[in-house]
Structure 1
């Protein structure tokens, strides 16, 4: 979106309605960087050539956004057919994407599929009954591709018996549906499901990885800065903020470790701060405040890098890993 489409604030407070509209635009930004495009092509190939794949990745790297983007290309369509001289409406769902809830069981997965397919009694029945109805609905809805995301939630109970049961159920579903299926999940956890069932693992020998950005080599730095530049162009602000320059990009990498979801949270808080102050672009003080609102529990030693001074990424990362000295 061009910057001129946003009115200049010039220091005047933004009204609440426009603030919410701009923040909604911000949260909808999706950058199709090279890894995103490569994995989008993987899904498309699976769809066209009726193959399966398991796309595994780091938390927050963008895997779920990738799946939603592909699903949006094939929206649900309502059609009408005549049965016994009566016209009946039914839905065609070319791509069925299901995101599993925490601690899901096969019965929960079947129920979630039925809900997405419009079955009003999606939560009624045994595992066997629900699974049987899933197969019928998938056929009726002319589903061409099934995407099951957050696969690791099938093993939250964390016992070998539960893992084997989930793997067996998935394998049988694959055999019965004869559809291309994309699995998505957090890398190490999802791998345990495949490791528990040799036949299931053999059905998905291709397991590409969706990882966050790195910032070590010049090529990696260029890639991350290019990602930031694409985002900067789409920020709901009247002017460019140059968050991709070497000074800020290094600090932003440290703050997010190259994880798009964390970056999204940082920018949401920072842009909101800037807009409420009537600013037309981000500055480092906005990023400083935005970072202070993040809760990074897995990084207890992380420091706020947006302090207006020179910053050494390597030194900062090493300090964060240091063990506390013994007195």
Structure 2
């Protein structure tokens, strides 16, 4: 096995790490509650839940983790699909939404038929497979600025009203207007479970960040990705990480992934501040996540 193969394997192993992060665990609990509420009100109008977060927050990873955990208890079969996860493309119309839902069910003919036919097939799929929850991902792509007769959100609202399935609406803050301007939709939702960025001025938020970094550190050592823990828990260093990522937890993982690549290329046994600083220069700044490198400023003090 070549050095390149080993490095690629370690980066792949890092990307498979999932840290049980408290706000995301709270999201899991609310998902489970929505499922149970749906079971208790079967045949009656269902409820939905809003989950908004900045891009890179790890909301999709959290949803996928919940699905894995749920399916470990309630395994899918040929006749039972407990949860469907429906990612949306930009400018999703009602017809495209129906096609995406059918795709999630594995329908090979999702593009066949007009909008009315597709809606009927979607309802039949939910009934046939006994689906308990639908997660709509990237709801900011729903075409909710069109006329009332061609509003994709109205179609989802109808699924709730008809008692078809509970729905989780996941997306970025760009989707907020979809809920604030559509009172009829909002009235069908339980309390929102938005994943907000960590606030550095709050001590409990700072501790959440420290704990997340420590857990990520431990996971890298446990999986043999690095030989030694990073131990980057000094307040100034954690403060720099918060400044770079804006408190968006998924960006912490992405920054560490870049830093890991840098560390492995210099045959280091762990990620150090040097690697994280270079990761800021090579990834965070060029991608517009931040316009300066906080590590250089703090180190110069």
Say if 2:169 is the partner of 1:180. no
Q: Contact 1:61–1:261 (CA<8 Å) still a contact in 2?
A: yes
Alignment of 1:250-269 (within 5 A): 250-269=239-258
Say if 2:266 is the partner of 1:277. yes
Say if 2:113 is the partner of 1:117. no
Give the aligned length: 287
- Structure 1 residue 245, shift from structure 2 partner: 2.5
Q: Which runs of 5+ in 2 are unaligned?
A: 39-46
Moved over 6 A (4+): none
Partners of 1:41 and 1:265 in 2: CA distance: 26
Post-superposition Cα deviations, 1:60-105, rounded to whole Å, max 9, x if no partner, equal 22221211111112449565xxxxxxxxxx3421011111111111
Partners of 1:270 and 1:196 in 2: CA distance: 42
The match for 1:291 is 280
Provide closer, same or farther for how the CA distance between residues 282 and 245 of structure 1 changes in structure 2, counting only shifts above 3 A: same
The match for 1:131 is 119
Alignment of 1:11-160 (within 5 A): 15-50=3-38, 51-75=47-71, 79=77, 90-155=78-143, 159=145
Provide closer, same or farther for how the CA distance between residues 250 and 121 of structure 1 changes in structure 2, counting only shifts above 3 A: same
3-state DSSP of counterpart to 2:50: strand
Q: Contact 2:255–2:284 (CA<8 Å) still a contact in 1?
A: no
Partners of 2:289 and 2:264 in 1: CA distance: 30
**Which structure's residues are more often helix, by fraction?**
2
The match for 1:190 is 175
3-state DSSP of counterpart to 2:171: strand
Q: Contact 2:159–2:165 (CA<8 Å) still a contact in 1?
A: no
Provide closer, same or farther for how the CA distance between residues 306 and 100 of structure 1 changes in structure 2, counting only shifts above 3 A: same
Provide closer, same or farther for how the CA distance between residues 232 and 195 of structure 1 changes in structure 2, counting only shifts above 3 A: same
Partners of 2:22 and 2:218 in 1: CA distance: 17
The match for 2:213 is 228
Q: Root-mean-square deviation (CA), in Å? A: 2.5
Q: Contact 1:58–1:186 (CA<8 Å) still a contact in 2?
A: yes
Bigger Rg, which one: 1
Q: Contact 1:100–1:149 (CA<8 Å) still a contact in 2?
A: yes
**Which structure's residues are more often strand, by fraction?**
1
Post-superposition Cα deviations, 1:219-254, rounded to whole Å, max 9, x if no partner, equal 322221111111111122110011222232111111
Post-superposition Cα deviations, 1:265-299, rounded to whole Å, max 9, x if no partner, equal 21111101111111110112211221112255785
TM-score normalised by length of structure 2 = 0.86
Q: Contact 2:133–2:167 (CA<8 Å) still a contact in 1?
A: yes
Partners of 1:248 and 1:163 in 2: CA distance: 53
3-state DSSP of counterpart to 1:294: helix
Partners of 2:131 and 2:188 in 1: CA distance: 20
3-state DSSP of counterpart to 1:139: helix
The match for 2:296 is 307
Q: Contact 1:46–1:52 (CA<8 Å) still a contact in 2?
A: yes
- Bigger mean CA offset, 301-310 vs 95-104: 301-310
Partners of 2:32 and 2:96 in 1: CA distance: 27
TM-score normalised by length of structure 1 = 0.80
